[in-house]
Amino acid sequence: MSDTVSKQPKRSRRGLIVFVVIVLVLIAVVAVHLLTRKKPTRDVAPIVVTVSSATLGSMPVTLSELGTVTPTATVTVLPQLSGYLTEVGYHEGQEVKKGQFLAQIDPRQYQISKQQAEATLAKDRATLAQAQADLVRYTQLNERKSIAQQTFADQQFLVQQDEAAIKSDLANIAQFDLDLTYCRITAPVAGKVGLRLVDPGNYVTASSSTGIVVITTVKPTTVQFTVPQDALASIVQRLNAGATLPVTAYSSDNSQQIATGTLYALSNQMATATGTVTLRATFANDDEALFPNEFVNVKLLVDTLQNAVLVPTAAVQSGAPGDFVYLVNANSTVSVHKVKLGPSDGKNTVILSGLSQGNQVVTDGTDRLNDGAKIQPAGAKRAAGARGASGAAAASEPASEAASGAAAASAASSADAASS
């Protein structure tokens, strides 16, 4: 009995060991299988992008700067003498011509002074006539040695003094004539008058800094702007060649073209603080669209590049390699291609070197690309989708035919069962 009991635990222990060995073998087999099996290769789906071809075309070389409308003349009309303002001959905002009457200062004081100067002149002329007559007699007496030589010389000096007095009187009369002219204030330049600064009845003085009115020439007018020193060489070269450089003025928000003109003046010094030089363009401004001291955006057409390689601006990227584009290869992949950029008009950019006509570049979807990425143009995707849709439609036709055949067979079997 004891032998039987002792054999049972040994058998159960041996079976447990065998079970454990089998489990370990199975685990080892599974582990080896997992470690040695090949991972399934997944084909990376191509990235759908938009591509465009490089073309040849013309590109205007323009400079966009901020400018200020600067009138050709701005004159503050100041009184040249003192007096009461008796009349104003203009309306605020009126266009006036050069020499047109503007205001009148009371001239009576200066008329009286002129009359006094004329009376003094008449008196001095009479005195001169008397002195000249005496000189004639003194000359005859001097020839006969009847008077002293000093008396004759004194009479000569007296005549000269009287002649000088007459010249002074004539100068005084001329001054009063000028004062009377200044009493009638006229426009020194043609232009538009501003708001009235002095009303009739006020006493004005020659030392007044306010003035009577401000006249601004608005037709024609100019726009003053600055360009960087790097762009100066090309501008000077074009001007020296006799070219006329067109200038276009736009509104401050660039939403509207205001006027067109030409560049006509270039400053003779450069601002060392900013590294810029000041230019001035003239505009006819017949419609008065350019208002004095208004800020405008200016575009100066320096030159036009012909037969330049153009790509959409969206294709140009900047990064660690510098300026580059994603060039489409023949195997439907892209490569990072460095380029040298030229001028741009916002829509297209000139490629000075790095591309040629017909090269395809990526214009949309560049944020998902890297060097060597596989792509699929958006147009090709649409074509493939159209082909897939037509194939699905063709496959659906046999299926519908099979369904209709099955329905017909079911109906026939039902009819046979009913007849039986």
Span 87-112, pLDDT tens digits: 999 999 999 999 999 999 999 999 99
Residue 215 to residue 187: CA distance in whole angstroms? 8
Statement: residue 209 has pLDDT above 90: no
For residue 335, the model assigns a pLDDT of 92
Q: How confident is the model at residue 25 (pLDDT cuts 50, 70, 90)?
A: confident
Query: Which CATH class name applies to 74-214?
Result: mainly beta
Look up tokens 């079997």; give the residue: 413
Question: What does DSSP say about strands 47-53 and 375-377: parallel, antiparallel, or unpaired?
Answer: parallel
Q: Determine what percent of the chain is predicted with pLDDT higher than 90.
A: 62
Interatomic CA distance for residues 109 and 123, integer angstroms: 22
pLDDT in tens, 29-42: 888 877 776 555 55
159-170 pLDDT per residue, tens: 999 999 999 999
Amino acid letter, 230: D
Average pLDDT over residues 251-269: 92
Mean pLDDT of 167-194: 94
What is the CB neighbour count within 10 angstroms for residue 76? 13
Please check whether the domain covering 308-378 is classified as CATH 1.20.140.10.
no
Band of the pLDDT at 204, cuts 50, 70, 90? Answer: very high
CA-based diameter of the chain, in Å? 202
100 φ/ψ angles, rounded to the nearest 5 degrees: -75, 145
Rounded distance between C-alpha atoms, residue 258 and residue 352, angstroms = 33
- pLDDT for 133 equals 93
How many angstroms separate the Cα of 395 from the Cα of each of 245, 391, 398, 400? Answer: 67, 6, 6, 9
Residue with the two structure tokens 């900047």: 318
Which has the higher per-residue pLDDT, 74 or 31? 74
Query: CA–CA separation, 196 vs 212, rounded Å?
Result: 7
Average pLDDT, whole number, for the chain?
84
pLDDT at 185 over 80: yes
* Average pLDDT, integer, range 307-332: 91
Compute the average pLDDT of residues 243-267.
93
Q: Higher model confidence: residue 115 or residue 387?
A: 115
Res 368 pLDDT > 90? no
Q: Considering the entire predicted model, what is its pTM?
A: 0.64
Contact partners, residue 281, CB within 8 Å, separation at least 6: 67, 222, 223, 225, 247, 261, 262, 263, 264, 298, 300
Query: Is the backbone peptide bond immediately before 292 cis, with ω within 30 degrees of 0?
Result: no
| 207-235 mean pLDDT | 91
- What residue spans define the domains of the chain? 74-214, 217-304, 308-378
Q: Judge if 74-214 and 308-378 fold alike in CATH terms.
A: no
Please name the CATH architecture into which domain 217-304 falls: Beta Barrel (2.40)
Worst-scoring range by mean pLDDT, 49-53, 265-269, 411-415? 411-415
Structure-block tokens of residue 204: 């004005």
